[in-house]
Amino acid sequence: MGLAIECRQLSKVFSKGWFGRGSGVPVLRDISLSISPGEIVGLVGPNGAGKTTLMNLITGLLLPSKGTVAIHGHPARSIEARRGLGYMPELPTFLGLYTPRKVLQYHGALAGIPRKEVKQRSDELLSRVELTAAANRRCATFSQGMRQRLALAVALIGRPRVLILDEPTNGLDPVGIAYVREMLLQLKGTGMTILVSSHRLNELDKMVSTLVMLHRGQLVEDPMATTSPPMSRLYIGIAPGTCSDAALKGLPLIESTGMGVVLSIESPNLVPAIVRGLVSKGVDIMSVKLEGDDLETRFLRLLEGRKQ
């Protein structure tokens, strides 16, 4: 089976001035990316890194300055590429006079779905995004969270094979976020390819199989893969006056106070040996807490490394 999304040496420069004659602003540089069918890929990066621009190039809303984008082998912007595409923008807007049911009917019709199927699918999607109760309310009265959920339903109405989601959990409460996560994992199970950008890195950590990180318009190594083995923090509470500097010698120390120490360790398997060693040196241990190295920490560390 071919690739779901393929970007080859993609660059984007935004022209400035009249008729694009001014010097351009390079936003993406030489991006090559391959995403296989059925993958959930997270797109992360600081503000201005080029995430939305990359998504817009994939959806065909922008034209590349250099390079190519293909969706299931078809050039982005072609009707064939758009046939299998679902897109949810970061700030969705709808016609204020339309109800969610009408919005879905409208987008279903644009996607070329027969009338009968649109009705059935609209009801199914409204219930899936928990908007059945508001199905006949005008969209103008909707909260940001409701708009996000409706936009997700709009993206799914055409039964897409590739789903592009720009910050889908913006404006959602924790329950809504968990709901979207569950839904995306379910969709992944159906073989759908999902490219999702988010600032909530720990949310992405729970659902994506691959992470693509952008920094200043360029691809950076996958923070999940490159910082392996992940570093964890071990917090050890110590009874006052029982720990000397000699007892801590040789340990990967981050911080030490009279009440405890913080160590950086590569594997949780090291915890028993460290605790045994400290006890054997006469240290009274009051508590032990291991904190995993989450995606956000790895991302920030990677970013710090890039800045240096």
Partner 1 sequence: MMRAWELMKETFFRKNYIPAVHVLGALFYVLLGLLPIRHSLELGAFLFIFSGCVLPLILSQGIFGDDIASGCIRVVLTKPMSFATPYAWRVAGLCLQCCLQLAAGSIVLLVIHYMGNKGSVSHLLRFNGLSLLMFGCLATLSTTLSTFINGGRNSLVIIFGALVVVVLNKALAEVSGHVAVGVKGIIKYAMPPAELLWTAGNTGPSGKDVLLLCCHAAGLGLIYAAIGISILSRREFPCEREY
Of 103-132, which residues contact partner 1 (CB under 8 A)?
A: 105-107, 109-112, 114-115, 118
The distance of closest approach from Cβ of residue 62 to partner 1 in the complex, given in angstroms and rounded to an integer, is 5
- Rule CB under 8 A: is residue 237 a binding residue for partner 1? no
Nearer to partner 1, 162 or 302 (CB): 162
Asked if residue 72 lies in contact with residue 78, where contact means CB atoms within 8 angstroms, the answer is no
Nearer to partner 1, 59 or 232 (CB): 59
- The residues that bridge with 264 in the sheet, in sequence order, are 233
Nearer to partner 1, 60 or 145 (CB): 60
Of 49-108, which residues contact partner 1 (CB under 8 A)?
A: 52-53, 56, 59-63, 79-80, 82-83, 85-98, 105-107
CA 60 to chain centre: 20
Spell out, one character per residue from 259 to 298, where the chain touches partner 1: x when CB under 8 A holds, - when not: ----------------------------------------
Please tell me whether residue 217 adopts helix, strand or coil conformation. Answer: coil
The distance of closest approach from Cβ of residue 210 to partner 1 in the complex, given in angstroms and rounded to an integer, is 23
Token pair of 117 as six digits: 């199927």
CA distances from 200 to 181, 261, 294, 295 (A): 12, 30, 12, 10
- The residues that bridge with 219 in the sheet, in sequence order, are 214
Instruction: Examine residue 168 and say whether the peptide bond preceding it is cis (omega within 30 degrees of 0).
Output: no
Question: Given the DSSP bridges, would you call strands 85-88 and 210-215 parallel, antiparallel or unpaired?
Answer: unpaired
Q: Which residues bind partner 1 (CB under 8 A)?
A: 14, 27, 52-53, 56, 59-63, 79-80, 82-83, 85-98, 105-107, 109-112, 114-115, 118, 151, 154, 158
